[in-house]
Every structure is written in C-alpha cells, then in structure tokens.
C-alpha cells in the first residue's frame, strides 16, 4: 500500500482538518507560532495552547472544559492536531492555565496577528461590495452574553438585562459588513460589562467598522456647521436670559435692603413720636402721627415677609438659566471639536465611499441618529423612545391607507419628521403587525438618499435584512466565545 493509499487517523472533526490546512495556506498557524509568549514549554508550547482555543471555538465549544470532557474530546484528536501542524493538543486544564498567565500585551499581540490574517479577506469584500452595489452596508448590535450568576472568575462582568431577564455577564458590541461572498463578515466584537446600554456605544461601533474596512464616507460638515451655528445662537440667547435673571435677582436684593432700612427708619420714628406724645401727655389717636408711622411699619414688614420667597424664585430662575447656558456650552464645545475632527478626516479622505448603517432601536436616540447623519451614513433604525410610535398612532385613523409589506405587516409613512435630539428631518414609518387577536406597533426610521417613502416594501425588507446579524449572533452566543 502506497503512502497516499494508507488511511490516516480517524476523526469526528473533519471540518477542523480542512480548516487546519486552510489555516496553514493563509499563514494563520505561522502567525500564531510567531507570537512571543513568556511561558515555558513542558509538554506543549504555549502557542499550541492558544491555537487550541481557536480550534475549539471553530468546533463550537461553549466551555473550555469541553476540550477534554466532550463526547469527542478535541485533545484526543490526533488528526486535527496534525492538520494544524501540532504534535498534540494540551488538555483543558493546561489550556486554561496558559490563558490565565497571558499578559495583556500578549493577548493584544494575538489579537493583532488574527486581525492581520483576516484583513485581506475584509479588504476584498469591501472592494466587491463597492463594485457590486456601490456602497457598504454595516449592521451593528449590542447583545447579552450571560454567565453563571454564581461565577466569580469572569472579569469585568455586571448585572444587566439580557433576553428580557436580569443576568450576570457581558454586553458584546458587534458590527458586521454585508459581504457579497459570505453574506456577512464580522468586523469587530468588543465585550462590555453587562449593565452597558446600546445607546452609549453607537459611535464606538461606527469607528470600529471604519478602522477594519479602512474606508469611510464623507463627513457632512455643512450640516454640522448649521447645527453648531444654531446651538451657538441658543447659547447666546440663554446667556441673555441669564443676565436678565441675574439683574432681577440683584434688584430684589436691593429692594430687600431698602425695605430693611425703611423698617429701621419707621421703628426709630415710632419711638421718637411715642416719646413726644408721652412728654406732651397726648393720647394716641387713629390718625395721629404715631398711628400713621405704625401703619407704614406694618406695610414694610409685610413686604419684607414676601422677600425670601421672591429671592428664592429669582435664584431658581438664575440656576435654571445657568444650567441651560452650561448645557448649551457643553454641546457647543462638543460640536466644535467634532467639526474640527470631521474637517480633518475629510481632508485625509480623498476617496470617500457611500455607506449605510442598520441598527436596532437600542441605538436609535436622536443624538445617535444625528451623529450618524453627520458622519456621512444613510441610517436605517428604529426610534429609541416608544413615544414616537405613540405620537404617530395618534395621526392615523380608520381612513388611513396602509401598505401591506408582509403576511401580517402593514406600514404607513411620513417624510420631513422631527425627533427629539435630532435637528435633521427624517422619514418615519409606522408598522402594524397582526399576531392573532393582538395588534403590535413599532416605527421605522430612515435618513438618506434612498426614496423610501415612494416604495415602502423595499424599506421594510431592507431594514429587516438585519436578521443576517441576528442569525450570526444566535450562532455563536456563548460567553466562552465572547471572552477569548
């Protein structure tokens, strides 16, 4: 029997064998072997143990111990080890000790090596997407990765809502690129504590996507300049109101001081008049000088009794105006910095691309939508606040013409709509879903060049194309995959 005819070792992980040969062809194994790790080699090199984690992830391992304790233990599979050019695999405990001993710099070096290997594939898909569709389509999400509530070994975990339940774990910020070849290509996965909320991560996932693809759209600095001019005018108006409120407060304080002096005057005057009347032995009459002085003192004291309340109200007005000035000044400073950054990015971006970002409602605050628009993206998302849906529902009636976009879904849309926190006009579509006897409502939000109002079905279908990233999330939703 020739060498080619001799059967190799049996394996229950045939795809891992194929992927091992592919990993060698693209230089992945060589790159992992080249990463400098400070740990000593006893039976297995530390690089072999790091590779075991990658191979286990490809095998769908949910927990590290399954390397040794699954139905078909990976550390017993010599065929896979040979395909990945390793003499043998370490057991789960050895792999765990190596991972625990890695320094942050070593972990970052491993990540950089993996990114370097995957970057040519991303670059190719960017070129194909631009050539095929003329634009890039990104999908972003924040998804929970729960761990055991009794666990004490996972770093930086926190309690947060995951799948409608309060769990201990992480929130993974993910962004993918729509790929002509593969359907989707993952660009970035970043773990955050479980109490992280999506609306705080919009800019981070946008920048992560741009960092991996190496391209970005032209920043819409003209819109940002208009917004900055409006907030500057609003800040100046708030400063004028603050000055008026401060003048009013000063006037009230001056009035209080005058009243205090008047009270002292009438108190002394009453004492003088009483002494004169006593010396002359004149009884006090209703319209005598003493009675008149007493009346004026009483009026003065009544007015003084109202002064603390007037001062408090004036002080509250000053504080309100100060807070408005400070809030507008902070926004103005942020937008000024953003404008400078965007102008510089435009100067360094001679070949901007057209790009779309699809996000779920967790990211759909007015400020995030405005940021995406200013960064040059076409935006497909849903409003963060349910009040938008409530407002739109009040505008429809029994005579409203709905457009059917699915077996149980209808929509009606409006252009030039406003949303709190976003200064730019938007297209909004009210969705109506029939689920048995229940009718549910939600809202689609769009900003961009696509004529979505004229044809609602493509708008509905395109946004729901986000199911591609949702499917990807479900395929790999384990804490082990999140934390490596």
CA distance 123 to 185: 11
CB 359 within 8 A of CB 427: no
CA distance 142 to 159: 15
Residue that the structure tokens 């199911």 belong to: 467
> In 3-state terms, what secondary structure has residue 358?
strand
- Neighbouring residues of 299: CB distance < 8 A, sequence distance ≥ 6: none
CB 199 within 8 A of CB 325: no
CB 256 within 8 A of CB 307: yes
Q: What is the pLDDT of residue 476?
A: 54
CA distance 80 to 89: 9
Q: What is the pLDDT of residue 484?
A: 34
Q: How many residues does the chain have?
A: 484
CB 217 within 8 A of CB 354: yes
- Each of the 484 residues of the chain gets a pLDDT tens digit; together they read 444 455 567 788 889 999 999 999 999 999 999 999 998 888 899 999 999 999 998 888 878 888 888 888 888 889 999 999 999 999 989 999 999 899 999 999 999 999 999 999 999 999 999 999 999 999 999 988 888 888 777 888 999 988 788 999 999 999 999 999 988 899 998 989 999 999 999 999 999 999 999 999 999 999 999 999 999 999 999 999 999 999 999 988 888 888 888 888 888 888 887 787 778 777 777 778 888 888 888 888 888 888 888 889 999 999 999 999 999 999 999 999 999 999 999 999 999 999 999 999 999 999 999 999 999 999 999 999 999 999 999 999 989 999 999 889 999 999 999 999 999 999 999 999 998 889 999 999 999 999 999 889 999 999 998 876 666 565 555 444 443 3
Q: What is the pLDDT of residue 474?
A: 59
CB 96 within 8 A of CB 50: no
Give how far Cα 40 sits from Cα of 68, 160, 201, 305, 383, Å: 22, 39, 39, 83, 53
3-class SS letters over 435-480: ECCEEEEEEEEEECCCCHHHCHHHHHHHHHHHHHHHHHHHHCCCHH
Output Rg (C-alpha) for the chain, integer angstroms. 35
CA distance 314 to 320: 10
Give how far Cα 435 sits from Cα of 164, 397, 403, 409, 456, Å: 20, 20, 17, 9, 21
Question: Residues 136, 140, 146, CA angle at the centre, nearest 5°?
Answer: 155
Instruction: Note the pTM of the prediction, 2 decimals.
Output: 0.83
CB 221 within 8 A of CB 343: yes
- 421 sits in the region (left: phi over 0; alpha: psi -120 to 50; else beta) called left
> 314 is written with which tokens?
């004036």
> 115 is written with which tokens?
């990114």
Q: What is the pLDDT of residue 7?
A: 58
Sign of the Cα pseudo-torsion (25, 26, 28, 33, in order): positive
Of 164, 169, 137, residue with least CA distance to 151? 169
CB 204 within 8 A of CB 190: yes
CA distance 186 to 209: 9
Give how far Cα 137 sits from Cα of 134, 218, 265, 369, Å: 10, 15, 80, 16
> 336 is written with which tokens?
């000024």
Q: What is the pLDDT of residue 442?
A: 95
CA distance 127 to 123: 6
CB 346 within 8 A of CB 217: no
> 281 is written with which tokens?
């032995």
- Residue 162's DSSP bridge partners are 165
CA distance 107 to 409: 47
Give how far Cα 246 sits from Cα of 242, 319, 320, Å: 6, 10, 11
CA distance 59 to 476: 11
């Amino acid at each position: 029997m020739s060498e080619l005819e001799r059967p190799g070792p049996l394996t229950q992980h045939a795809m891992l064998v194929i992927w091992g040969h592919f990993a060698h062809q693209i230089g992945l194994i060589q790159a992992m072997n080249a990463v400098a790790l400070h740990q000593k080699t006893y039976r297995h090199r530390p690089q072999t143990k790091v590779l075991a984690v990658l191979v286990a992830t490809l095998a769908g391992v949910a927990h590290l111990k399954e390397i040794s304790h699954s139905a078909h233990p990976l550390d017993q599979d010599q065929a896979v080890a040979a395909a990945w050019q390793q003499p043998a695999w370490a057991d789960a405990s050895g792999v765990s000790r190596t991972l625990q001993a890695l320094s942050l710099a070593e972990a970052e070096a491993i990540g950089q090596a993996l990114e370097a290997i995957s970057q040519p594939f991303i670059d190719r898909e960017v070129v194909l997407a631009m050539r095929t569709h003329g634009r890039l389509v990104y999908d972003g999400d924040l998804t929970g990765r729960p761990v055991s509530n009794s666990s004490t070994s996972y770093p930086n975990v926190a309690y947060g809502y995951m799948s409608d339940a309060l769990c201990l774990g992480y929130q993974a910020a993910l962004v993918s690129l729509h790929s002509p070849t593969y359907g989707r290509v993952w660009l970035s996965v970043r773990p955050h504590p479980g109490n992280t909320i999506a609306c705080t991560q919009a800019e981070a996932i946008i920048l992560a996507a741009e960092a991996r693809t190496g391209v970005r759209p032209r920043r819409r600095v003209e819109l940002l300049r208009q917004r900055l001019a409006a907030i500057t005018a609003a800040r100046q108006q708030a400063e004028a109101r603050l000055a008026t409120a401060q003048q009013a407060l000063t006037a009230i304080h001056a009035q209080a001081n005058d009243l205090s002096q008047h009270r002292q005057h009438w108190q002394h005057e009453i004492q003088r008049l009483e002494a004169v009347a006593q010396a002359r032995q004149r009884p006090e009459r209703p319209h005598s000088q003493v009675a008149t002085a007493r009346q004026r003192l009483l009026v003065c004291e009544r007015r003084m009794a109202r002064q603390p309340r007037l001062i408090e109200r004036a002080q509250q007005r000053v504080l309100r105006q100060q807070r408005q000035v400070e809030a507008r000044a902070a926004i103005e400073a942020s937008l000024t910095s953003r404008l400078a950054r965007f102008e510089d990015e435009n100067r360094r971006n001679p070949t901007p691309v057209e790009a779309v970002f699809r996000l779920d409602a967790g990211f759909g605050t007015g400020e995030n939508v405005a940021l995406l628009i200013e960064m040059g993206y076409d935006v497909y998302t849903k409003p963060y606040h349910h009040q938008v849906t409530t407002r739109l529902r009040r505008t429809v009636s029994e005579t409203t013409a709905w457009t059917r976009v699915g077996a149980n879904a209808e929509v009606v849309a409006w252009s030039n709509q406003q949303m709190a926190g976003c200064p730019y006009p938007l297209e909004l579509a009210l969705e109506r879903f029939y689920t048995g006897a229940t009718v549910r409502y939600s809202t689609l939000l769009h900003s961009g060049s696509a004529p979505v109002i004229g044809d609602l079905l493509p708008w509905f279908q395109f946004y729901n194309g986000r199911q591609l990233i949702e499917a990807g999330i479900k395929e790999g939703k384990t804490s082990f995959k999140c934390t490596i």
